[in-house]
């Protein structure tokens, strides 16, 4: 596993340019710099505003450094990174995965459940209007009022199966499922989540070769059954609680490359045996807000095969 650490940034850059596969399509990602990142409210079980307030300036400094390494890692690997302007008072805007669901240049803007994040809708909408003018996307739409849906954080495109997996319960409404299906013309499989793992991208990650990483404990009994019915046992990789709580599923995967915050050596060897290589860029301070690598990105140019 390659771990990105400040002392080794030069070394890892060289290593990464060696492993970078020039024939691979590296997606265009949307990120938001953590200029105003902080934990001042509590809308999930990981957030502890008190802990943050005791050491806020040091925590922010480290978070900003972690984000810069992550951003640099993506760029070194060959990803295009677009930036949306951070807004004061919107600390969770760094989690761009929640901005929208995107496929085939069509954008469905998120509707946040909690009032703390609702003001993010406007700057994200403004960004996407700009992205449309720049030709990065073709169409921008919104969910109907009354339906909550928290973007790609709760709606994951499975390129192998050509379906969306959609999380609902703690954040997104179940009704969002049909709306996404109609809008994109794709099958959407709805999975009910438990409160602790409130967004689907914390606990399920389809990989490029068809395997799916997931944490069973994040799902209700019926959602676990749906997962097992839809994915053959040899492609389904259940991770343990420790990896789940380190947000291992919250990874970015392109081809053979997996970029994540950190994972156990057992899981890493499992992934290596399946042909994947793991790059670890720790973003633990964002864990204090309940997010990790994947949440800090949004794929702007996802396309389906047909
Ligand atoms: N504090 C943010 C929230 O609770 C974290 C969002 C993490 N994003 C994600 N896609 N899982 O909404």
Q: Would you say 55 and 37 are in contact if contact means Cβ atoms under 8 Å apart?
A: no
**The pLDDT of residue 6 is above 70:** no
- Would the CB of 257 count as within 6 Å of ligand 1? no
**The pLDDT of residue 14 is above 90:** no
Using pLDDT thresholds of 50, 70 and 90, give the confidence band for residue 3. Answer: confident
**The pLDDT of residue 42 is above 90:** yes
Distance (angstroms) between ligand 1 centre and the Cα of 98 equals: 7
Q: What is the pLDDT of residues 119-145, one digit of tens each?
A: 999 999 999 999 999 999 999 999 999
Task: Please report the atom of ligand 1 found closest to the CA of residue 202.
Answer: 11
Cβ neighbourhood burial of 86 (10 Å; 0-12, 13-18, 19+)? middle
Element (H, E) at 49: helix 49-54
Structure token pair of residue 169: 């319960």
- Would the CB of 193 count as within 6 Å of ligand 1? no
- Would the CB of 290 count as within 6 Å of ligand 1? yes
- Within 72-128, strands assigned E span 80-83, 100-103, 106-109
Element (H, E) at 48: none
Using pLDDT thresholds of 50, 70 and 90, give the confidence band for residue 207. Answer: very high
Q: What is the mean pLDDT of residues 214-227?
A: 98
Choose the catalytic residue: 199, 249, 263, 294: 199
Distance CA 5, CA 283 (A): 11
**The pLDDT of residue 12 is above 70:** no
- Looking at per-residue confidence, does 278 or 2 come out higher? 278
Entry pTM: 0.95
For position 232, what pLDDT does the model report?
Answer: 98
Long-range Cβ contacts of 117-123 (<8 Å, 24+ apart): 117/43, 117/90, 117/92, 119/87, 119/89, 119/90, 120/87, 120/90, 120/92, 120/93, 123/84, 123/85, 123/87, 123/90, 123/93
For position 98, what pLDDT does the model report?
Answer: 99
Q: What is the pLDDT of residues 240-284, one digit of tens each?
A: 999 999 999 999 999 999 999 999 999 999 999 999 999 999 999
Distance (angstroms) between ligand 1 centre and the Cα of 286 equals: 9
- Looking at per-residue confidence, does 9 or 269 come out higher? 269
Q: Residue 123 — left, alpha, or beta (φ > 0 → left; ψ -120 to 50 → alpha)?
A: alpha
User: Cα dist. 19→27, 77, 220, 299 in Å?
Assistant: 17, 8, 39, 21
**CB burial readout 151-190, b (16+ within 10 A) else e:** bbbbbbbbbebebbbbbbbbbbbebbbebbbebbebebbb
Closest CA to 277 of 295, 292, 260, 301: 260
- Would the CB of 289 count as within 6 Å of ligand 1? yes
Does 32 qualify as catalytic in the annotation? no
Does 199 qualify as catalytic in the annotation? yes
Distance CA 56, CA 53 (A): 5
For position 18, what pLDDT does the model report?
Answer: 62
């Amino acid at each position: 596993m390659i771990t990105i650490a400040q002392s080794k940034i030069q070394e890892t850059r060289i290593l990464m340019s060696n492993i970078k596969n020039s024939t691979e399509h590296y997606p265009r990602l949307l990120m938001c710099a953590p200029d105003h990142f902080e934990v001042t409210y509590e809308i999930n079980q990981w957030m502890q505003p008190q802990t943050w307030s005791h050491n806020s300036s040091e925590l922010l400094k480290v978070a900003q450094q972690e984000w810069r390494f992550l951003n640099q890692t993506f760029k070194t690997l060959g990803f295009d990174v677009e930036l949306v302007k951070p807004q004061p008072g919107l600390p969770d805007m760094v989690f761009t995965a929640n901005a929208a669901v995107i496929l085939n240049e069509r954008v469905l803007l998120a509707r946040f459940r909690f009032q703390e994040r609702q003001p993010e809708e406007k700057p994200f909408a403004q960004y996407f209007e700009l992205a449309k003018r720049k030709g990065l996307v073709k169409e921008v739409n919104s969910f109907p009022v009354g339906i909550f849906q928290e973007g790609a954080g709760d709606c994951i495109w499975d390129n192998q199966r050509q379906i969306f997996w959609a999380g609902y319960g703690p954040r997104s409404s179940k009704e969002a499922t049909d709306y996404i299906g109609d809008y994109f013309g794709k099958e959407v499989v709805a999975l009910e989540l438990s409160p602790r793992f409130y967004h689907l991208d914390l606990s399920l990650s389809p990989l490029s070769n068809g395997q799916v990483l997931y944490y069973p404990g994040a799902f209700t009994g019926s959602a676990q059954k749906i997962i097992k019915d839809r994915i053959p046992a040899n492609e389904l990789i259940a991770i343990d609680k420790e990896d789940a709580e380190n947000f291992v599923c919250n990874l970015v995967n392109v081809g053979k490359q997996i970029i994540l915050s950190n994972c156990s050596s057992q899981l890493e060897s499992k992934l290596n045996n399946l042909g994947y290589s793991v790059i670890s860029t720790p973003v633990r301070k964002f864990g204090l807000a309940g997010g990790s690598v994947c949440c800090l990105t949004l794929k702007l140019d996802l396309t389906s095969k047909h």
